[in-house]
Amino acid sequence: MNPTVTLPVLSMLLGGTLFEIDLGRPFDLSLPLIADREGPSAWYVEPLTIEPVRANGWVGAVAEGGSVNFRDIAFNPHGHGTHTECVGHITEVVHSVNDVEIPAFLDAYVVSLTPEETAAGDLVLRAAALLDSLPDEPVSAVIVRTLPNAPEKQTRNWSNTNPPYFEAIGLAGLAQRGVEHLLVDLPSVDREEDEGELAGHRAFWQLDERNAPRMDATITEFIFVPDELPDGWCALNLQTAAFVNDATPSRPVVYPIKP
């Protein structure tokens, strides 16, 4: 028996136009959480560990004579792999990203941006470049692919590398336009060393001088956007693991428009 599954047709309003979405061509933008230094990392975290439980002579490893594989995992959601965070990342009360209700399918827009080198040698994603690349119509989620799109981003240890970051005013602009979800292929939207200012995070969540926190807005970091996924409209399914925490591992899957 090999039943044929016919995928239902998903039609979505993207920027005011009804498009058919290609559910048979998913692009998984998440990076896997892998033990040791094989996955991406940042913020000087120790390597992610996955170790068999050992207790009273019992071992959680079949290869070592145990009945099952039963392993403890230690990791930091911000430092290892794809994760989604909410405003609780920078508030005294640690609001949980698990409380954010994310629709099953979001209208999303993919943009490719080349960081600009500043006189000080930083690589910055300029507000104008970001905002000019968006459509005029409202969009729920913006997915940023930074160029060059080196495959090695999928396993890089970003600690102490001063990665590219966003000009905060650009992220304030996204908030102003009602963009609820921002996804980036960088370890942060802010400069690695910014004396704790987190200007970009604050601007996006409106915890700057506007002080109007956007409780349902999320930032997803450490994605990888394959070259095969074109810039422009798509449907996004942003799944988050159900941790009660400011940030949690996540799996953004994008479905392109049917050609």
CA distance 71 to 148: 37
CA distance 110 to 151: 18
Site membership for Zn ion, residue 202 (CB under 5 A):
no
Strand partners, 13: 18
Q: Which stretch binds Zn ion (CB under 5 A): 78-86, 92-100, 130-138, 163-171?
A: 78-86
Q: Which tokens is 106 given? A: 């979001």
| Distance, C-alpha 21 to centroid of its chain | 21
Check: CB of residue 124 under 8 Å from CB of residue 163: no
Shortest CB 247 distance to Zn ion, Å: 5
Strands 83-85 and 218-221: antiparallel
Q: Three-state DSSP class for 172?
A: helix
Q: Which tokens is 5 given? A: 């599954």
Closest to Zn ion by CB, 69 vs 159, is: 159
Residues of this chain, 220-259, that bind Zn ion according to CB under 5 A: 221
- Tally Cβ neighbours within 10 Å of residue 120: 7
Shortest CB 84 distance to Zn ion, Å: 9
Q: Three-state DSSP class for 107?
A: strand
Q: Which stretch binds Zn ion (CB under 5 A): 27-35, 119-127, 128-136, 213-221?
A: 213-221
Shortest CB 31 distance to Zn ion, Å: 13
Site membership for Zn ion, residue 78 (CB under 5 A):
yes
Q: Which stretch binds Zn ion (CB under 5 A): 23-31, 70-78, 103-111, 120-128?
A: 70-78
Shortest CB 77 distance to Zn ion, Å: 7
Shortest CB 259 distance to Zn ion, Å: 34
Which residue has its beta carbon closest to Zn ion? 78
- Give the footprint of Zn ion on this chain (CB under 5 A): 78, 85, 221
